[in-house]
């Protein structure tokens, strides 16, 4: 039972345009969400997070939006750069637990 | 600079061999995790540990065991490796949050690509 889903396995975007990566979850107890970026042959690195008490969090070119009623979050990258080409994982957690549930990942390719 | 290191980047083993994957973190984190990453399946949690000598099963513990004798070190053991355990193995660590606070981000090692022939 996949509690966190990333339905798009891949996405291609032109350099300078907006990249939008989507993530859906089923467990209403999740109250904290993160996005990780992973390059080949490296471990994932933390990108940005959002608490369920917010609906938006911004950090430079990266913005995460949370729609609790739809159980949906998205990551916006503006403007996209070739160095953003990587696999992006969303992850969800419940306060008081130790672990995160990860999605299946979306491979982003930013074309120069 | 925080660091999670894994003993090998690439490993090739034969079916039936006992395999040890080692992970060390230098951040004094209480929590450590082992995941495997497979195409189309994302990161799946095998085991985690929230304290020395403590361990809990994740989502796919079958065929694996773990050991945490020291706070900084978390080992994943494949008692008898099988071909379906060919995968990328990722270790992570995190701090225990204060009561009522969300889990902190996890810091990942570079991964070990294990091939079982």
Q: What is the pLDDT of residues A31-52, one digit of tens each?
A: 999 999 999 888 999 999 999 9
Q: What is the pLDDT of residues A49-83, one digit of tens each?
A: 999 999 999 999 999 999 999 999 999 999 999 99
Q: Do A95 and B105 touch (CB under 8 A)?
A: no
Q: Do B96 and A103 touch (CB under 8 A)?
A: no
Partner-chain residue, chosen from A51, A98, A103, that has the shortest CB–CB distance to B48: A98
What's the confidence (pLDDT) of residue A53? Answer: 93
| Average pLDDT over every residue of A19-27 | 97
The percent of residues in chain A predicted with pLDDT above 70, rounded, is: 99
Q: Which long-range contacts link A68-73 to residues 24+ away (Cβ below 8 Å)?
A: A70/A24, A71/A24, A71/A25, A71/A26, A71/A28, A72/A22, A72/A23, A72/A24, A72/A25, A73/A22, A73/A23, A73/A25, A73/A33
pLDDT at A87 over 80: yes
CA dihedral B72, A96, B101, B96 (to 10 degrees): -10
CA dihedral A107, B1, B4, B5 (to 10 degrees): 100
Per CB-CB distance under 8 Å, the chain A contacts of B42 are 6, 89, 102-105
Written as tens digits, the pLDDT of chain B (117 aa) is 669 999 899 999 999 999 999 999 999 999 999 999 998 888 999 999 999 989 999 999 999 999 999 999 999 999 999 999 999 999 999 987 777 666 778 999 999 999 999
The percent of residues in chain A predicted with pLDDT above 90, rounded, is: 88
Distance, in angstroms, between A98 CA and closest chain B CA? 6
> CB of B58 within 8 A of CB of B46?
yes
What's the confidence (pLDDT) of residue B81? Answer: 97
Write out the two tokens for B54: 């403590």
What's the confidence (pLDDT) of residue A1? Answer: 67
What's the confidence (pLDDT) of residue B102? Answer: 67
**Residue of B43, B49, B92 to mutate when probing chain A, most A C-beta within 10 A:** B43
What's the confidence (pLDDT) of residue B68? Answer: 96
Phi-psi region of A8 (alpha: psi -120 to 50; beta: other; left: phi over 0): beta
Of the candidates A78, A85, A53, the residue with the CA atom closest to the CA atom of residue A66: A53
B24 touches chain A (CB under 8 A): no
Taking every pair of Cα atoms in chain B, the longest distance, rounded to a whole number of angstroms, is 46
Phi-psi region of A81 (alpha: psi -120 to 50; beta: other; left: phi over 0): beta
């Amino acid at each position: 039972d996949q509690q966190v889903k990333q339905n798009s396995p891949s996405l291609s975007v032109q350099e300078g345009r907006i990249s939008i990566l989507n993530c859906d979850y089923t467990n209403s107890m999740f109250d904290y969400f993160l996005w990780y970026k992973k390059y080949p042959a490296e471990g994932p690195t933390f990108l940005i997070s959002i608490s369920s008490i917010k609906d938006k969090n911004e950090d430079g070119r990266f913005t995460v939006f949370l729609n609790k009623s739809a159980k949906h979050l998205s990551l916006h990258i503006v403007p996209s750069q070739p160095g953003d080409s990587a696999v992006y994982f969303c992850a969800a957690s419940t306060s008081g637990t130790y672990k995160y549930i990860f999605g299946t990942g979306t491979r982003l390719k930013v074309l120069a | 600079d925080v660091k999670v290191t894994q003993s090998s980047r690439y490993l090739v083993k034969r079916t039936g061999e006992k395999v040890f994957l080692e992970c060390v973190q230098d951040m004094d984190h209480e929590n450590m995790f082992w995941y495997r990453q497979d195409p189309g399946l994302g990161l799946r949690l095998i085991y985690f540990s929230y304290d020395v000598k403590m361990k809990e099963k994740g989502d796919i513990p079958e065929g694996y065991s773990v050991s945490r004798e020291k706070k900084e070190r978390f080992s994943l053991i494949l008692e008898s490796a099988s071909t379906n355990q060919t995968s990328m193995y990722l270790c992570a660590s995190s701090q225990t949050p204060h009561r009522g606070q969300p889990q902190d981000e996890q810091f990942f090692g570079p991964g070990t690509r294990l091939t079982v022939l």
